Amino acid sequence: MTAPVLGMETFEGTYGKSLARGARAAVDEVLGVKKDERVLIIANPSRDSREISMAVYDAALRAKAAPTLAFQREKGQFDYAEEEIIKAMASNPQVVISISKDRMGKDIWGMRNGYRGKRRYDHIFDLLYEEKRIRAFWSPGATIDMFSRTVPIDYSQLRADCARVGRMLSKAVSVRVTAPGGTNAILGVKGRRPRLDDGNFRKMGAAGNLPSGEVYVSPALGTMNGTVVFDGSIVLNSGEIVIKKPIVTSVEDGFVTKIDGGSDAWLLEQSVRTGERKAHEGGRKGEIKPALVEKYAKNAWSIGELGIGLNRKARIVANMLEDEKVYGTCHFAIGTNYDGDADALIHLDGLVKKPTIVAIGKDGRDAEVMVDGRLAWEST
């Protein structure tokens, strides 16, 4: 019998060919992992997280990289990552991959003390990502089916769509969103950089979700007004749900002022109030600097994101990692934004189906991005 070669064991055979294809697409097409690169994979022992992470580990080995796979206990919206995970990220791998059942976990040291760079960061991952010291992807809540179906896709088309939508938003000063369900809102985007989750994370500082497939932007502070009617799915503190009765939210000067609807609306309001309460609790426990507590609490009610779904293999499955990428939808998030000037402890995405999205330029002219759930250049 031939002795095993230490350091070259793989998990091949424990997962199907479709998942293997997804893992290879993630490593080769999305990240472009190179020989000898240090790849840190953070996961949980739950079945989907474990098998996806093992498939990605194996794909990294095939690329002749140097992967490390680290399991930690499952983390929720308000939980902290294990200290060993934070230290592993601080060791400066070239690639960081998070395949968690729910969340990677907050950084307790960062929340208490912060990391200094171009701005203050409350998580080591954000520092490494924003300062272009790693490239990465994160797949919170990914299932084996989702990863197998929505990751090995036509990235040339996705990247072309994302680039075009991104250019349109970057030229806009505001965006108007309407939809058959009743959404009618306008938000400012002047000075905001649209981010492309296009599955091209091959340069340092490039990162995003897998599955990929959206362009998203943080509204300029205090600029969003109108009504958002969530009628697809939504994130709650207890998990994601497909919405039974539309949730009607009123937005004034960038903050949600009223939430109406049925039982789902009540659950959303309780989730937001929990985010507000947890900020005060974090201050009392010394987990959040006293000077920041009121900001964190207030921003639990802010609109932190507009995202436009562009993945043609995605479908609404009550898992926001996939749902927010569904072609023909957009989503708004209540809570923290992506520009670091409206931090909160929550980020609750909710879908709007078949939106019409119009980018308004500084000259006042309209440019249609999406019409009734189809990209404008495809609807003609």
Query: Residue 376: helix, strand or coil by DSSP?
Result: helix
Query: Residue 250: helix, strand or coil by DSSP?
Result: strand
Asked which of 10-19, 191-200, 252-261 is least confident by mean pLDDT, the reply is 10-19
Q: Tokens standing for 252?
A: 């004034």
The band of 8, judged by pLDDT with boundaries at 50, 70 and 90, is very low
The band of 3, judged by pLDDT with boundaries at 50, 70 and 90, is very low
Per the CB < 8 A criterion, the answer to whether 140 and 100 are in contact is yes
Asked which of 164-168, 175-179, 181-185, 288-292 is least confident by mean pLDDT, the reply is 288-292
| Cα atoms found within 13 Å of the Cα of residue 191, Cβ hemisphere only | 7
Rounded to whole angstroms, the Cα distance separating 175 from 277 reads 31
The band of 118, judged by pLDDT with boundaries at 50, 70 and 90, is confident
pLDDT, the chain, mean: 93
Count of CB atoms situated within 10 Å of the CB of 284? 10
Count of CB atoms situated within 10 Å of the CB of 14? 12
Q: Output the pLDDT for position 315.
A: 96
Q: Which residues fall within 8 angstroms of residue 239, CB to CB, at 6 or more apart?
A: none
| Residue 6 pLDDT greater than 90, yes or no | no
- Amino acid letter, residue 41: I
| Residue 83 pLDDT greater than 60, yes or no | yes
pLDDT in tens, 276-307: 999 999 999 998 889 999 999 999 999 999 99
Query: Residue 244: helix, strand or coil by DSSP?
Result: coil
The band of 12, judged by pLDDT with boundaries at 50, 70 and 90, is low
Do β-strands 347-353 and 329-335 pair in parallel, antiparallel, or remain unpaired? antiparallel
The band of 21, judged by pLDDT with boundaries at 50, 70 and 90, is very high
Q: Output the pLDDT for position 7.
A: 44
List beta partners, residue 226.
185, 251
Q: Of 324, 304, 307, 308, which is closest to residue 316 (Cα–Cα)?
A: 324
Q: Of 210, 239, 283, which is closest to residue 76 (Cα–Cα)?
A: 239
Per the CB < 8 A criterion, the answer to whether 344 and 170 are in contact is no
Q: Output the pLDDT for position 2.
A: 40
Query: Residue 102: helix, strand or coil by DSSP?
Result: coil
The residues spanned by each domain of the chain are 17-145, 155-378
The band of 240, judged by pLDDT with boundaries at 50, 70 and 90, is very high
pTM over 0.75: yes
Judge if the upstream peptide bond of residue 355 is cis by omega within 30 degrees of 0.
no
Per the CB < 8 A criterion, the answer to whether 23 and 33 are in contact is no
Q: Output the pLDDT for position 379.
A: 61
Query: Residue 185: helix, strand or coil by DSSP?
Result: strand
pLDDT in tens, 191-231: 999 999 999 999 999 998 899 999 999 999 999 999 999 99
* Average pLDDT rounded to a whole number, residues 39-65: 97
Per the CB < 8 A criterion, the answer to whether 139 and 123 are in contact is no
Q: Output the pLDDT for position 9.
A: 52
Percent residues over pLDDT 90 in the chain: 88
Q: Of 294, 291, 310, which is closest to residue 302 (Cα–Cα)?
A: 294
Q: Please state the separation of Cα 48 from the chain's center in Å.
A: 18
Strand order in the sheet with 38-43: 66-71, 38-43, 95-99, 135-138, 207-209
Q: Which residues fall within 8 angstroms of residue 59, CB to CB, at 6 or more apart?
A: 20, 23, 24, 26, 27, 28
Per the CB < 8 A criterion, the answer to whether 247 and 363 are in contact is no
Count of CB atoms situated within 10 Å of the CB of 272? 23
Rounded to whole angstroms, the Cα distance separating 122 from 107 reads 7
**CATH homologous superfamily of domain 17-145?**
Thermophilic metalloprotease (M29) (3.40.1830.10)
